[in-house]
Chain A
Amino acid sequence: TMGNWLVNHWFSAAVLAAWLGINIFLFTYYFLFFDRDERYFYTRAILGSALAWARASAKCLNFNSMLILLPVCRNLLSFLRGTCSCCRRTLRKQLDHNLTFHKLVAYALALLTAVHTIAHLFNLERYNQSQRATDSSLPAVLSKMHLQGSKWLNPIHSNQTTVEYVAFTTIPGLTGVIITLALILMVTSSTEFIRRNYFELFWYTHHLFLVYFAGLVIHGIAGLVRGQTEQSMVEVHPYHCAEYLPRRAQNCTHACCKDPEFGSIPAESWKWVLAPIILYVFERILRVWRAQQKVLVTKVVMHPARVLELQMQKKGFCMEVGQYIFVNCPAISPLEWHPFTLTSAPEEDFFSIHVRAAGDWTERLIDTFQLEIPRIEVDGPFGTASEDVFQYEVAMLVGAGIGVTPFASVLKSIWYKFQQADQTLKTKKIYFYWLCRDTGAFAWFNDLLASLEQKMAESGKADFLTYRLFLTGWDTSIANNVALHFDTATDTVTGLRHKTIFGRPMWNTEFAAVAAAHPRSVVGVFLCGPEALAKSLQKSCHQHSSLDPRKVKFYFNKENF
Chain B
Amino acid sequence: MGQIEWAMWANEQALAAGLSECGGPGRWRGPGHGRNAAGVLVCLLEYPRSKRKKGSTMERCGQKYLTAVVKLFGPLTRNYYIRAVLHAALAVPAGFLLSTILGTVCLGIASGIYLLAAVRGEEWRPIEQKPRERPQVGGTIKQPPSNPPPRPPPD
The residues of A with any CB-CB pair to B shorter than 8 Å are 117-118, 121, 124-125, 163-164, 167, 177, 180-181, 184-185, 187-189, 191, 193-194, 197-198, 200-201, 204, 359-360, 475-476, 479
Q: Which residues of A contact B25 (CB under 8 A)?
A: 118
Contact status B13-A188, CB under 8 Å: yes
Contact status B16-A184, CB under 8 Å: yes
In the bound assembly, the distance between CA atoms of A189 and B49 in angstroms comes to: 15
Contact status B3-A360, CB under 8 Å: yes
Contact status B1-A200, CB under 8 Å: yes
A185-B13, A187-B16, A194-B8 known; A360 vs B2 contact (CB < 8 Å): yes
B99 located at the interface, meaning its Cβ lies under 8 Å from any Cβ of chain A in the complex:
yes
Contact status A164-B101, CB under 8 Å: yes
In the bound assembly, the distance between CA atoms of A283 and B8 in angstroms comes to: 32
Complex A-B, nearest 5 residue pairs according to Cβ-Cβ distance, in ascending order? A188-B12, A188-B13, A200-B1, A121-B99, A163-B98
Closest Cβ of chain A: how far from B83's Cβ, in Å?
16
B129 located at the interface, meaning its Cβ lies under 8 Å from any Cβ of chain A in the complex:
no
Residues 134-152 of B contacting A (Cβ, < 8 Å): 135, 140
Contact status B12-A191, CB under 8 Å: yes
Nearest-neighbor residue (CB-CB) of A124 within chain B: B98
Contact status B3-A359, CB under 8 Å: yes
Contact status A204-B16, CB under 8 Å: no
Residues 71-109 of B contacting A (Cβ, < 8 Å): 98-99, 101-102, 105-106, 109
In the bound assembly, the distance between CA atoms of A472 and B138 in angstroms comes to: 18
B28 located at the interface, meaning its Cβ lies under 8 Å from any Cβ of chain A in the complex:
no
Contact status A201-B4, CB under 8 Å: yes
Q: Which residues of A contact B98 (CB under 8 A)?
A: 121, 124-125, 163-164, 167
In the bound assembly, the distance between CA atoms of A124 and B97 in angstroms comes to: 12
Contact status A193-B8, CB under 8 Å: yes
Closest Cβ of chain A: how far from B95's Cβ, in Å?
9
In the bound assembly, the distance between CA atoms of A125 and B99 in angstroms comes to: 10
Residues 43-61 of B contacting A (Cβ, < 8 Å): 49, 52, 55, 58
Contact status B16-A197, CB under 8 Å: no
In the bound assembly, the distance between CA atoms of A475 and B24 in angstroms comes to: 51
The residues of B with any CB-CB pair to A shorter than 8 Å are 1-5, 8-9, 12-13, 16, 24-26, 49, 52, 55, 58, 98-99, 101-102, 105-106, 109, 135, 140
Contact status A475-B13, CB under 8 Å: no
Contact status B1-A194, CB under 8 Å: no
Contact status A189-B55, CB under 8 Å: no
Contact status B140-A198, CB under 8 Å: no
Closest Cβ of chain B: how far from A318's Cβ, in Å?
34
Q: Which residues of B contact A118 (CB under 8 A)?
A: 24-26, 99
Contact status B140-A479, CB under 8 Å: yes
Closest Cβ of chain A: how far from B150's Cβ, in Å?
26
Q: Which residues of B contact A124 (CB under 8 A)?
A: 98
30 contacts between A and B (CB under 8 A): A118-B25, A118-B26, A118-B99, A121-B99, A124-B98, A125-B98, A163-B98, A164-B98, A164-B101, A167-B98, A167-B101, A177-B101, A180-B102, A181-B106, A181-B109, A184-B13, A188-B12, A188-B13, A189-B12, A193-B12, A193-B58, A194-B8, A197-B8, A198-B5, A198-B9, A201-B9, A360-B1, A360-B2, A360-B3, A479-B140
Closest Cβ of chain B: how far from A360's Cβ, in Å?
5
Q: Which residues of A contact B24 (CB under 8 A)?
A: 118
Q: Which residues of B contact A479 (CB under 8 A)?
A: 135, 140
Contact status A181-B105, CB under 8 Å: yes
Closest Cβ of chain A: how far from B5's Cβ, in Å?
7
Closest Cβ of chain A: how far from B73's Cβ, in Å?
23
Nearest-neighbor residue (CB-CB) of A121 within chain B: B99
A164-B101, A475-B135 known; A188 vs B4 contact (CB < 8 Å): no
Nearest-neighbor residue (CB-CB) of A190 within chain B: B12
Q: Which residues of B contact A194 (CB under 8 A)?
A: 8-9, 12
In the bound assembly, the distance between CA atoms of A163 and B26 in angstroms comes to: 17
- Not counting A197-B52, A197-B55, a sample of 4 additional A-B residue pairs whose C-beta atoms are within 8 angstroms of each other reads A117-B102, A181-B109, A198-B4, A479-B135
Q: Which residues of B contact A121 (CB under 8 A)?
A: 98-99
Nearest-neighbor residue (CB-CB) of A205 within chain B: B9
Closest Cβ of chain B: how far from A503's Cβ, in Å?
10
Q: Which residues of A contact B26 (CB under 8 A)?
A: 118
Q: Which residues of B contact A187 (CB under 8 A)?
A: 16
Q: Which residues of B contact A198 (CB under 8 A)?
A: 1, 3-5, 8-9
Closest Cβ of chain A: how far from B34's Cβ, in Å?
18
Closest Cβ of chain A: how far from B130's Cβ, in Å?
14
Q: Which residues of B contact A185 (CB under 8 A)?
A: 13, 109
